[in-house]
Amino acid sequence: MFTSEFLPLALENVSSEAARRKTDGWRFVQLLAVADNTGTGDRDSTVDLVYSYMKDGMLENLVVKGVSVGDGADVDEVASITDKYLSAFVFENEVHDLFGVHITNIAIDFAGHFYQVPVREPMTIISPEQKVARERAAKMAAMKAAKEKAEANGAGDGAKKDAAKSEADIEAKLAALPPEKAAKIRAAMEAKAAKEKAAQGGEASNE
């Protein structure tokens, strides 16, 4: 009978868990990475790693959540398990080249040339549509937070509060529009405001 389950695994326990599995007679099956879609900009900033081991018809998938990738100083380092399971070198080179996972001390290290890819870390790159959706969601969240904060404060002149609320509502609506359309509307609003300000300045000088 075949059974399978997913279990959590802490990043710092990757190597020790591999050693334990090796001693207990488990077979290493695979290592795979999955972008978790929490990044910003043009790519995902973290991935989940799944280490799969099998023994006596049981497949256990050990999941390391939120491994940071890329070139920053705070990028996570993942210990290689090739000192316990040499065959893992294929998977470790793969997740390095395709996802940007930093794996240390791989027994057979291709140093970033296991795959010949036209772009760096192709599996963490998000589509333009995903980027727009994320930016829109972030703007909406920021506008909502600002609106709730203003309402919670409950202080200040009533007219100013109404103006701030109106501005927040407008920004929330603009954030929901396609970037090009929102930019045109903002430009028109700014031009109108500048024209009104200039007109008010002219009236003041005439007085």
In a shared domain, residues 60 and 157: no
In a shared domain, residues 18 and 67: yes
In a shared domain, residues 184 and 201: yes
User: 59 is written with which tokens?
Assistant: 């497949």
In a shared domain, residues 58 and 10: yes
> Could you give phi then psi for residue 112, rounded to 5 degrees?
90, 10
- Which carries the bigger pLDDT value, residue 53 or residue 199? 53
The position carrying tokens 């996570």 is 76
In a shared domain, residues 108 and 187: no
Across residues 34-40, what is the average pLDDT?
A: 66
- Which carries the bigger pLDDT value, residue 127 or residue 103? 103
**What's the total number of domains in the chain?**
3
In a shared domain, residues 147 and 119: no
In a shared domain, residues 60 and 77: yes
**Vertex 110: Cα angle to 109 and 113 (nearest 5):** 155
Range(s) of the domain holding residue 149 = 127-176
- 205 confidence band (pLDDT: 50, 70, 90): low
Q: What is the pLDDT of residues 169-188, one digit of tens each?
A: 777 777 767 767 777 887 88
Calculate Rg over the CA atoms of the chain. 26
In a shared domain, residues 103 and 138: no
- 108 confidence band (pLDDT: 50, 70, 90): very high
Across residues 185-206, what is the average pLDDT?
A: 76
CATH label of the domain that carries residue 59: 3.30.460.80
Beta strands in the chain (DSSP E): 3-8, 27-35, 46-55, 58-68, 77-79, 102-104
| Range with the poorest average pLDDT among 99-103, 128-132, 135-139 | 128-132
Q: Find out whether 68 and 77 touch, Cβ atoms under 8 Å.
A: no
Q: Find out whether 59 and 4 touch, Cβ atoms under 8 Å.
A: yes
| Spatial separation of the C-alpha atoms in residues 156 and 168, rounded to whole Å | 16
